[in-house]
Structure 1
Amino acid sequence: MTLGQKIRARREEMNLSQADLGKRIGISQVSIDKIESGKTLKSKYLPEVLSILGMPLDLISATVGRGAAPAQSTVSAVDLGELVPVKIAGKAKAGEFISIEDLGDWEEPEEFLDTRDPRFPHARHLGFEVEGDSMNALKPRPIQDGDRLSALAYEDIADRFPLRDGMIVVVQRTRHGGHEREWSVKQLEIYEDRMEFHPRSTNPRHKPIIIKRDSLADDGVTVEIIAIVRRLVAEFNL
């Protein structure tokens, strides 16, 4: 099955018309048809098509590597935007603190491909595996258990990228003098006197993290944003 055929099958599985998919990206139905028919797999919109459909971006390089037909084998990083490997930094699971000493036992992290953000060419790309149901009611697209997130390291872009309401972020909480940490995915709400990191969940046990500005309270827990989520990268059997 060609990449275009896989795209068509996945689109139909999601009950999207070619016009529907095109509207989400800002291109025409004809452009989607050309991608699916294999006439224009050089399209710079191909990574976005795959991302919206929840298909791994490494399908692009896999298509080239297998020696595809001429119409497909001309796909390059220049045409699509530079593809970069994104290492899985770890799992994001609300409510689970991990001992820092245990982190050294992890195996070599997995990788997937994503496009480099041209606004921040030197920022580190981080991947996260989501566990649990703390964002399963996020709209318009929930983040489910098992999803992968592609993100940018916040400290690399903080001076050029102001925080805004509604951003999806990865939050780190540490306790016991930094010996334990929790990573979780939250939606940011900004107020004059505080910042709130909200779960979007059907499970009532998940609670927001509220950080008041200029607060002198110290409960031994530190909270910081470590990554800004760019996109959700789901995996499907193709």
Structure 2
Amino acid sequence: MRDEMTKQYLDWIRENLKKTGKTQSGLASHLGIAHPQITQLLKGNRKLKVDELPRIAEYLEANLPSGDVVPSSGGLTEGVVAGLVEAGAFREVDEFDQSDRQRVAIPRDELFPNARQLLFDCSGDSMNDLKPRPILPGDRLVTISYEDVEHLVELKSGMVVVVQREREGGHFREWSVKQLELYPDRSEFHPRSTNSKHKPIIIRQDHEADDGVTVQVIALVRRVMNEMPGF
């Protein structure tokens, strides 16, 4: 974020933390981070992450002062590199939440200009047989946050989505890309792979996978990018 924009948001956070019942520790808990990180943020010693803004607004029960992402001239906006999507790879949550994420300039999504754009780097072969275009190791997915468009977009069979699975009380997390199939009593998230080891994730109406792991859609895939090697 630009310095002046960061100051605007920090002033907004400080002002709204004066509300009854709103505390730094409460905000930290809502974001899933340690309390000292909020202290450092308000002192200007920690970067304010674009993808945290909607959740901060949710906790503060306040409208964002000027939107969570401000497009620049030329039709570009800021995308957050969220991390790896890799089927079967559960990682400790700290690997996701405690590191500063890279931000890159990408084309604005004209259909969803106010939604956060999240970028995921693909690892593994779980979608190497997707039609009409496979998703291969090294591809970068350009997605929109499902949380931001849930009220606008109805999930449909055939959509390619990023799915989050959590186990052991949320201490371990997996992000993977799947193709959605919807049925009256369940949702199925399918790999499209030549490798038979990859199995679908099935969610019954109780919103839990067959093995009890919590599952949710976190992003809708809008584009796939790949840079040529050798540069």
| 1:119 counterpart = 2:111 | yes
Q: How many residues align?
A: 159
- The superposition leaves residues 75-101 of structure 1 with CA deviations (integer Å, 9 ceiling, x where unpaired) of x945xxx21121210100000000113
Q: Which residue number corresponds to residue 170 of structure 2?
A: 178
The runs of 5 or more residues in structure 2 that have no matched partner are: 1-71
Inter-CA distance 209–113: structure 2 relative to 1 (3 Å threshold): same
Secondary structure of the 1:84 match is strand
Q: Which has the higher contact order (CA 8 A, sep 6+)?
A: 1
Q: TM-score, normalised by structure 1?
A: 0.62
Matches of residues 71-82 of structure 1 in structure 2 within 5 Å? 77-78=73-74, 82=75
Give, in angstroms, the shift of residue 159 of structure 1: 0.7
Q: Are the counterparts in 1 of residues 185 and 205 from structure 2 also a CA contact under 8 Å?
A: yes
Secondary structure of the 1:109 match is coil
Inter-CA distance 192–141: structure 2 relative to 1 (3 Å threshold): same
Secondary structure of the 1:145 match is coil
Inter-CA distance 121–215: structure 2 relative to 1 (3 Å threshold): closer
Q: Which whole-Å CA distance do the structure 1 matches of 2:126 and 2:209 have between them?
A: 26
Secondary structure of the 2:147 match is helix
Q: Which whole-Å CA distance do the structure 2 matches of 1:88 and 1:168 have between them?
A: 18
Q: Are the counterparts in 1 of residues 202 and 210 from structure 2 also a CA contact under 8 Å?
A: no
Q: Which residue number corresponds to residue 87 of structure 1?
A: 80
Q: TM-score, normalised by structure 2?
A: 0.63
Q: Which whole-Å CA distance do the structure 2 matches of 1:203 and 1:188 have between them?
A: 18
Give, in angstroms, the shift of residue 118 of structure 1: 2.7
Q: Which residue number corresponds to residue 62 of structure 2?
A: none
Q: What letter matches 2:171 in structure 1?
A: H
Secondary structure of the 2:124 match is coil
Q: Which residue number corresponds to residue 110 of structure 1?
A: 102
Q: Which residue number corresponds to residue 148 of structure 1?
A: 140
Q: Which whole-Å CA distance do the structure 2 matches of 1:143 and 1:124 have between them?
A: 22
Q: What letter matches 2:78 in structure 1?
A: P
Q: Which residue number corresponds to residue 97 of structure 1?
A: 90
Q: What letter matches 2:80 in structure 1?
A: K
Matches of residues 1-238 of structure 1 in structure 2 within 5 Å? 77-78=73-74, 82-103=75-96, 106=99, 108-214=100-206, 219-237=211-229
The runs of 5 or more residues in structure 1 that have no matched partner are: 1-75
Among the aligned pairs, what percent are the same residue? Answer: 53
Give, in angstroms, the shift of residue 111 of structure 1: 3.5
Give the alignment's Cα RMSD to 1 decimal: 2.2
Q: Are the counterparts in 2 of residues 98 and 180 from structure 1 also a CA contact under 8 Å?
A: yes
